[in-house]
Amino acid sequence: MRAWRKTWVAVVSVFILASPLLGGPQSSSPRPFNLIRWNHGKFIFGVDYYPEAWPESQWEKDAEMMQAAGINFVRMGEFDWVKMEPEEGHFDFSWLDRALKILSAHGIHAVLGTPTAAPPAWLYAEYPDIAAVNAEGIRYRFGSRRNYCLNNPHFLQATRQIVTALAEHYKNNPAVIGFQIDNELGNPYCFNRYCLAAFQNWCRNKYKTLDALNRAWGTVFWGQTYTAWSQIPLPWNTLFGVHNPSLALDYDRFFNDSTKSYLELQARILRRIAPNKAITTNEMGLFDAIDYSKLNTALDFVAWDNYPMFDQNHSNYFGPALAHDLMRGSKNNQNFMVMEEEAGLPGWTMFWGHQAPAALYRVWAYQAVAHGADGVCFFRWRTSTYGTEQYWQGVLDQDSYPNARYRIIARMGKEIQRLTPVLEGSHVVSKVALLVSPDSRWAFHIQPLTKGFNYNRQLYRYYDAFRRRAVNVDVVFPQDNFSAYKVLVAPSLFVVNAELVRKLTQFVRGGGLLILTYRSGVKDSHNVYTTLTLPGRLAPLVGIAIHNYDPETTQQQKIVMSNGTSYPADVWFDILTPTSARVLATYGEDFYAGKPAVTINRYGRGAVIYVGTEPRSSRFYSGLVQLVARRTGLALGPKLPNGVEMATRQKAGEKIIFLLNYTSQPQSVDVGAVTRNALTGQAENESVPIPPYDVRVLTRR
């Protein structure tokens, strides 16, 4: 199975309790959640804090240092189940009350984690089968974290008890402004008897009759027809390690639904007992076991954990940028926050990567703001002396010395409070969207095409090309409305249903430009191969037929544009036969040299570009962006130097422009107009200098 990702006092102002009027919890209202109002008018500037691991004598000093750095928010408690409930049914929040009191006296509010990611040893001892079972049938044992089964009744009951006690204890405490449910939900997959029974029940609810299930899954293949619901297996390890792809895709949906119902079980308790507290959970960007667009309906706002150092391939800036945009898109483009923002070198048993200059942590944090974050909370306040994460640097090291990372974050703390009136109420507005299909991503995990195939890499390639011309990009999901966009890029749209095809057709007919790539329209929603000529249901829109294709193995291939320029290409080659489309590029090698590789088809008032392969050169993608701009009137920004990003937020009559320099060299960007530096208030010329590892925030009316 796929790899895991390793896995806020009493500033006692009475009106805090009336938070719904002030932009607080939105359970019954579609009004966008206002994070700044929720945090009492302050941009959320926080740290993840673990006071339980430090002597109480140090807490006051910690709070003083936080306050001096502009910290007004902490997240705490997400792994403290055993400290909150040392014995079944006996709760102790006194230590946390004392920590909150100290923080509160320094103007710091808290979000408390429901501690369910780390169930206590006593719970495992009493109910060993709360642990998940892996695909080989081996039950995880106590140790580490997150190894529980989402469908175990004892675990669900224990969850209800601790979440109820936490909510009851803090419902009237103004120091606590919200809750984070669990921690990084999304693993592990579990193959025990509880999940088996729950999956069989899920299948029964979905298909109603076994006949319908057998037909939908094509169980005629290899004689897998089921004659009782109890025969349906989980996709556990089998002799050849493979399962019916239809069953496997439904398991992925089932796991997503199980995760969602676990989150909603907690959200219901919190809402009922503490309706004035906001609810979120910390998510993981491009992590793909979970369809966040489905998970997030129960939350007030999205929060996620941003570790740019993991993104070794993408110069450490467009990778996190895409993840920010995906997280924003997973809840209707509402502003979000980063619950864990990298503040030092990551590592567990080894250090992962090399040390970044302290100044870069500030640039990454501003990047989050540029992409719609109204809050940044740094992980973690201080590096641990204990446990697995002794190598994971926090803002401070174990010695609490006010190091360069602390100083740069403190600088941002001052700046961000000055920027708050400028930022509040502003949003990212985009004319280009990238369609992420969770069904397709799951289906590609089940049948990965070729060794070289990587769904996310295609997302990055198209995303980079637009971002290099300073074009904002939204991420949308199949159930979203596409009508606000001029351009929609939907790489490898493998799994499609009639509704999605209808929406894409309507988008193009209305004048939109759609970019599709290889292996689109291949599967229906049951992960069953189409009997239509490829690209299946999308063929009329694309104006091509695909009668042959070539998975890349070792051959060198290239595409040749009509002006003779060629670009190397790999992964997959669809050999295209235009039916109504015009050819933009042909293949350069092999038995299909000269055959169409890239086409454009006018349809209604719009057009569809089909890229039958994966060009390797960024010049191909930048050329495509220029073509798209010419056809659609999409405004392109300046050509950005490598290592420099430009992103905009806007509100009535005002654009807020962020220029971010991730390099060690001075850079400059011609923003095409005179602007005002939002921090200094000074006018800036069209060409704006950005010092190494620095940021400019500009406004323009």
* Residues in touch with ligand GAL (CB under 6 A): 183-184, 282, 305, 340, 379, 389, 392
Q: Which two tokens stand for residue 567?
A: 């670009």
Measured from each CB, the residue nearest to ligand GAL is 184
Angle, vertex CA 416, rays to CA 412 and CA 422, nearest 5: 150
Q: Which two tokens stand for residue 529?
A: 């191969």
Residue 114 CA, distance from chain mean position: 21
Q: What are phi and psi of 356, to 5 degrees?
A: -90, 145
Q: Look up 87 and say whether it is catalytic.
A: no
Distance, in Å, from the CA atom of 49 to the CA atom of 58, rounded to the nearest integer, reads 12
What would the DSSP string read from start to end of 234-263?
PS---TTS---HHHHHHHHHHHHHHHHHHH
Residue with tokens 């750095």: 69
- Closer of 287 and 482 to ligand GAL (Cβ): 287
Q: Which two tokens stand for residue 499?
A: 């509704």
> Smallest gap, in angstroms, from Cβ of residue 183 to ligand GAL?
5
Choosing from 78, 85, 184, 342, the catalytic residue is: 184
- Closer of 44 and 504 to ligand GAL (Cβ): 44
- Closer of 92 and 389 to ligand GAL (Cβ): 389
Distance, in Å, from the CA atom of 123 to the CA atom of 113, rounded to the nearest integer, reads 19
Q: Which two tokens stand for residue 104?
A: 């509160």
**Residues whose CB is less than 8 angstroms from the CB of residue 282 and which lie 6 or more positions away in sequence, other chains included:** 180, 183, 184, 303, 304, 305, 339, 340
Distance, in Å, from the CA atom of 621 to the CA atom of 517, rounded to the nearest integer, reads 13
Distance, in Å, from the CA atom of 498 to the CA atom of 501, rounded to the nearest integer, reads 5
- Closer of 279 and 585 to ligand GAL (Cβ): 279
> Smallest gap, in angstroms, from Cβ of residue 374 to ligand GAL?
20
- Closer of 237 and 384 to ligand GAL (Cβ): 384
> Smallest gap, in angstroms, from Cβ of residue 343 to ligand GAL?
11
Amino acid at 424: E
Question: 420, exposed or middle or buried, with CB in 10 Å at 0-12, 13-18, 19+?
Answer: middle
DSSP element (H, E) containing 697? strand 695-700
> Smallest gap, in angstroms, from Cβ of residue 138 to ligand GAL?
24
Amino acid at 422: V
> Smallest gap, in angstroms, from Cβ of residue 305 to ligand GAL?
5
> Smallest gap, in angstroms, from Cβ of residue 282 to ligand GAL?
6
- Closer of 301 and 379 to ligand GAL (Cβ): 379
> Smallest gap, in angstroms, from Cβ of residue 383 to ligand GAL?
11
> Smallest gap, in angstroms, from Cβ of residue 291 to ligand GAL?
19
> Smallest gap, in angstroms, from Cβ of residue 263 to ligand GAL?
15
Distance, in Å, from the CA atom of 361 to the CA atom of 344, rounded to the nearest integer, reads 8
- Closer of 184 and 439 to ligand GAL (Cβ): 184
> Smallest gap, in angstroms, from Cβ of residue 389 to ligand GAL?
5
Q: Look up 184 and say whether it is catalytic.
A: yes
Residue with tokens 């449910």: 181
Distance, in Å, from the CA atom of 692 to the CA atom of 84, rounded to the nearest integer, reads 46
> Smallest gap, in angstroms, from Cβ of residue 281 to ligand GAL?
11
- Closer of 180 and 458 to ligand GAL (Cβ): 180
- Closer of 340 and 374 to ligand GAL (Cβ): 340
Closest CA to 5 of 284, 250, 278: 284
Closest CA to 51 of 106, 11, 3: 106
Choosing from 78, 85, 283, 340, the catalytic residue is: 340
- Closer of 254 and 310 to ligand GAL (Cβ): 310
Distance, in Å, from the CA atom of 679 to the CA atom of 657, rounded to the nearest integer, reads 12
Mapped onto helix, strand or coil, the DSSP state of residue 317 is coil
- Closer of 257 and 305 to ligand GAL (Cβ): 305
Amino acid at 541: L
- Spatial contact of 232 and 226, defined as CB atoms under 8 Å apart: yes
Distance, in Å, from the CA atom of 307 to the CA atom of 328, rounded to the nearest integer, reads 16
Angle, vertex CA 72, rays to CA 71 and CA 77, nearest 5: 95
Q: How far apart are the first and last CA of the chain?
A: 51
Q: What are phi and psi of 255, to 5 degrees?
A: -65, -40
Distance, in Å, from the CA atom of 315 to the CA atom of 172, rounded to the nearest integer, reads 46
Q: Which amino acids are annotated catalytic?
A: 184, 340
